[in-house]
Structure 1
């Protein structure tokens, strides 16, 4: 049986606090399930931004896309996330990763050791363990079993960890990956997870809705390929049908997109959310 569709927006910038809380309320009004905050030194601190968003909404879940484990002390982070779960009324989701390509520069700026790929992977595992322990021991958390854990990855080592621990797996593939290119990592995850695979929610982030690329993509990197799975084109009905087919064929049911495209994808959210 297919999972119900969920949709989330990824955002982490605003000109002021009022604009940020308006972003959260607008996402909720449009029917999005989650507001996800990236973890970079060029965007708002994710836990603070999530707390602010949670206090002005009632159903919108808040999460990270994704926390870089190398930046943080796992036990302290778990303590703070447990507090955020309380403040949000149990609407917290936690996305984790070993660090995006530019993460090493941020780690150095923060005075944190970046470590090898293996050390960073071990930190992700450590954060997951600390979070689940903190939530089960806390008297104030709402999600006593722990928040849904999302792991972003596409390589064998990260998918191995995701197969063991993740509730949600976000496919961290290149932006120009065609739809057929998604079958490889999904198949690997299926093989690694075994019977657990059906319990994992599969997610994909869309780079572009319609024909115009987002303004932050450099001119030389803009892709117009009709084959890129991260680019969704057509009428709302046509886009909805594409996502329905991907859910049926690949199991992708949790779709995220930059807040820049929140309004453009909203008609599709209206057609599919919760269905």
Structure 2
């Protein structure tokens, strides 16, 4: 990723029916987004079947998990299913992984699987990545292509979500994309330290793609999101992008110039609103 070209992803979690779900995926593709992504919670669609349906309804957009909680799955079984989805999508699948968001322990309890300690979950994360790449090599699945293949050109691209110093270091050493999981109160200047930690831990920083999610595009914050983000966001919160399309694009360009962040994700509710920025910056 030495050139750090912009990519944009849409995160969609649920729909009122199958037709609406596949229409969301097609809409993201038509708007020029690079990826259509799904979270991993028991309150949303199961990510791998949902992405399989999206794959059948689209032809070019990348498809990814954002992100799978490794505590909920056996590494070997996940590797098998990932390999199948990579095959069925024609190599468009990108594997997003995490060691467990704060409320992921509740989901693990409902599924009857141990959540584990931080150490155990990081070891499992490492094993999942090893199994996915080994399974891909052993089955000789169709290549994902130079634009989507993971490190070393084997298996799907791997994204790891990370916020703390330890996980940022792990992601820097093991991922193709590091998704910075930072509080909405983080400012533009606050991006400096996590990016420094990633750079310090990586033996090939230029290879890495850095990702950041937008919580809000525009000036209106939905009430349910306002509660989650807190009442006192700084004016330069990294979670909010507003202004004209050109102003928003310029802010993302400055962010890339200073912090090397080039992969931007946004909730599906803002896909149309961000589309003019996607049009200005995709591939730039």
TM-score normalized with structure 1 length: 0.96
1:160 lines up with 2:169 in the alignment: yes
Q: For residue 128 of structure 2, what is the aligned residue in structure 1? A: 127
Contact 2:11 2:266 in 1 (8 A): yes
- Equivalent residues in 2 for 1:1-275, closer than 5 Å: 2-143=3-144, 145-194=154-203, 196-219=204-227, 221-222=230-231, 224-275=233-284
Aligned length: 274
My pick for the range that moved more, 139-148 or 65-74, is: 139-148
- Partner-residue secondary structure (3-state), 1:257: strand
Contact 1:69 1:124 in 2 (8 A): yes
1:120-149 C-alpha deviation (Å, 9 max, x unpaired): 111111100000001111133433711110
Which structure 2 residue ranges, 5 or more long, are not aligned? 145-152
**How far 1:223 moved relative to its partner?**
5.1
Which structure 1 residue ranges, 5 or more long, are not aligned? none
**How far 1:172 moved relative to its partner?**
0.4
My pick for the range that moved more, 233-242 or 216-225, is: 216-225
Contact 1:2 1:248 in 2 (8 A): no
- Partner-residue secondary structure (3-state), 2:37: strand
Contact 2:177 2:210 in 1 (8 A): yes
Q: Would the alpha carbon gap of residues 185 and 139 (structure 1) be closer, same or farther in structure 2, given more than 3 Å must change?
A: same
2: CA distance, partners of 1:43 / 1:137: 32
2: CA distance, partners of 1:177 / 1:2: 26
RMSD: 1.3
1: CA distance, partners of 2:119 / 2:279: 42
